[in-house]
């Protein structure tokens, strides 16, 4: 990092905490829906395959919208306003689920959620990574902790509310914090025009012709390191999404847990992930991204196998805690690695490509898990998830060692 970049780096973490707070709410809504899935499934009489298809459709919508959203962020800027819009867009469709009485209307709602949820990351991650260039792993881990916090608190809070109210009432009330946070982010970050350089929160990228921008994006598709990182992350997302979709279902259907008990287990999963994120982020800044990711993924695979073998014993809960620690340790490290492999002027597009690829992986896993569970039992689905971690780790080994991508326009 040169002297000019160092002097431009902010000394305050105010923007980190504010963006992390918004990230907490985006994952709050996701975690709420996973907790509600067993209740919705029973009310609508859905099979495991249909439950998986709901999440698959949500992530397909995300995969389709992610790359255009990343390009839009790079072109327009106005990241503060985009973050606020993303948060509002995520919360509103969940409230619309309160009037969904059919499988198909539910799919419409989750499609809208999938689009909104993928507007957040192309704006948030490049902003944090480039404003804190020497601390990418740490600040993106803190950002990830915000997501873990939302996924930890929501199951506990919503699980308690479900003891008193129907799930339809809960989703209506649940939209209020998202709207308030969206307004707060718009006021606090939307006004920060700062300078007109690339580090300004609301600054657009330098003006480039459409041909030059398209060539720049095509160059990302030829970036071997970025494509391998994104592919590994996509397979890892298969693991995470399959687990988040069917762990609550398993706890409710097979173990007979109440919504509150299921919420406590999901909170445990996220609390250990919350603890792991800054540790992994800091270690990756010091020891390198690849070594931290490969170690965490290996332990994740072993933990999932242990979870399947534990069956209905109390040891299953211990494995929930362990998998939360190892699985979520890699999330922010992968994001930091991807940003480092992407030219700065294409950061939003690079993150959009990363999350679009992840969304493809996330869309595949739930429906496959559901079909396996319907035909061979839900434990077989957990073995499928363990195999996806192994594949993800193999892709990490193939990522070439390369210097940080330089910020230079593509040749025209």
How many other C-beta atoms lie within 10 A of the C-beta of residue 96? Answer: 17
Band of residue 3 on the pLDDT scale cut at 50, 70, 90? very low
**Structure tokens, 232:** 């590994």
Q: How confident is the model at residue 407 (pLDDT cuts 50, 70, 90)?
A: very low
- Residue 371's pLDDT is 92
Mean pLDDT, range 222-237, rounded to an integer = 86
Rounded CA gap, 259 and 36, in Å? 8
Place of tokens 């404003």: 131
Which pLDDT belongs to residue 372? 93
- CA-nearest of 334, 333, 325 to 271 is 325
Residues 6+ apart with CB under 8 A from 325: 272, 273, 275, 276
Q: How far, in Å, CA of 353 to CA of 350, rounded?
A: 5
Inform me whether the pLDDT recorded for 406 exceeds 60: no
pLDDT (0 to 100) of residue 79: 66
Average pLDDT in the chain: 77
Alpha-carbon Rg for the chain, nearest whole angstrom, is 20
For 229-245, what is the HEC assignment? HHHHHHHHHHHHHHHHH
> Which of 155-169, 182-196, 280-294, 328-342 is most confident?
155-169
All domains in the chain, ordered by first residue: 13-199+214-397 (1.20.1250.20)
CA-based nearest residue to 347, from 405, 290, 403, 289: 405
Per-residue pLDDT of 106-150, as tens digits, reads: 888 888 887 777 677 777 777 777 777 777 767 877 887 787 788
- Whole-prediction pTM: 0.67
For 30, the token pair is 């996701």
User: Which range, 111-115, 130-134, 214-218, 293-297, has the best average confidence (pLDDT)?
Assistant: 293-297
Of all residues in the chain, the percent with pLDDT exceeding 90 is: 1
Give residue-wise pLDDT tens across range 6-31.
444 555 567 778 888 888 888 888 88
**Is the pLDDT score of 161 beyond 80?**
yes
The pLDDT confidence band at residue 368, using thresholds 50, 70 and 90, is very high
Report how far apart the first and last C-alpha atoms of the chain are (Å, whole number): 27
pLDDT of residue 1: 42
């Amino acid at each position: 990092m040169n002297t000019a970049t160092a002097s431009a780096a902010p000394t305050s973490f105010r923007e980190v905490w504010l963006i992390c707070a918004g990230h907490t709410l985006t994952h709050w809504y996701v975690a709420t829906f996973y907790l509600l899935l067993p209740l919705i499934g029973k009310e609508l009489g859905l099979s495991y395959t249909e439950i998986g298809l709901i999440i698959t459709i949500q992530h397909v919508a995300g995969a389709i919208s992610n790359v255009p959203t990343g390009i839009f962020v790079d072109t327009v800027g106005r990241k503060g306003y985009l973050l606020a819009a993303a948060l509002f867009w995520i919360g509103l469709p969940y409230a619309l689920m309160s009037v969904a009485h059919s499988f198909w209307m539910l799919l419409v709602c989750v499609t809208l959620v999938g689009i909104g949820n993928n507007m957040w990351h192309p704006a948030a991650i490049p902003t944090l990574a480039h404003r804190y260039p020497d601390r990418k792993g740490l600040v993106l881990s803190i950002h990830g902790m915000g997501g873990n916090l939302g996924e930890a608190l929501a199951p506990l809070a919503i699980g308690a509310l479900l003891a008193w109210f129907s799930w339809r009432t809960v989703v209506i009330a649940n939209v209020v914090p998202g709207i308030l946070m969206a307004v707060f982010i718009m006021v606090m970050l939307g006004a920060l025009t700062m300078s007109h350089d690339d580090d300004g929160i609301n600054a657009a990228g330098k003006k480039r012709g459409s041909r030059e921008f398209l060539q720049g994006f095509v160059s990302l598709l030829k970036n071997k390191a970025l494509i391998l990182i994104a592919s590994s992350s996509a397979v890892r997302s298969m693991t995470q999404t399959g687990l988040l979709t069917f762990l609550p279902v398993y706890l409710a259907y097979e173990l007979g847990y109440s919504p509150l008990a299921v919420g406590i287990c999901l909170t445990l999963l996220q609390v250990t992930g919350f603890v792991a994120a800054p540790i992994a982020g800091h270690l990756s800044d010091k020891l390198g991204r690849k070594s931290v990711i490969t170690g965490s993924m290996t332990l994740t695979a072993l933990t999932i196998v242990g979870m399947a073998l534990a069956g209905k014993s109390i040891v299953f809960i211990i494995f929930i805690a362990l998998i939360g620690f190892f699985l979520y340790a890699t999330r922010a490290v992968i994001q930091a690695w991807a940003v480092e492999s992407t030219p700065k002027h294409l950061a939003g597009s690079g993150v959009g490509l990363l999350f679009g690829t992840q969304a493809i992986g996330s869309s595949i896993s739930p429906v496959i898990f559901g079909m396996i569970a319907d035909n061979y039992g839900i434990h077989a689905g957990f073995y499928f998830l363990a195999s996806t971690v192994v594949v993800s780790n193999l892709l990490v080994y193939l990522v070439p060692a390369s210097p940080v991508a330089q910020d230079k326009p593509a040749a025209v």
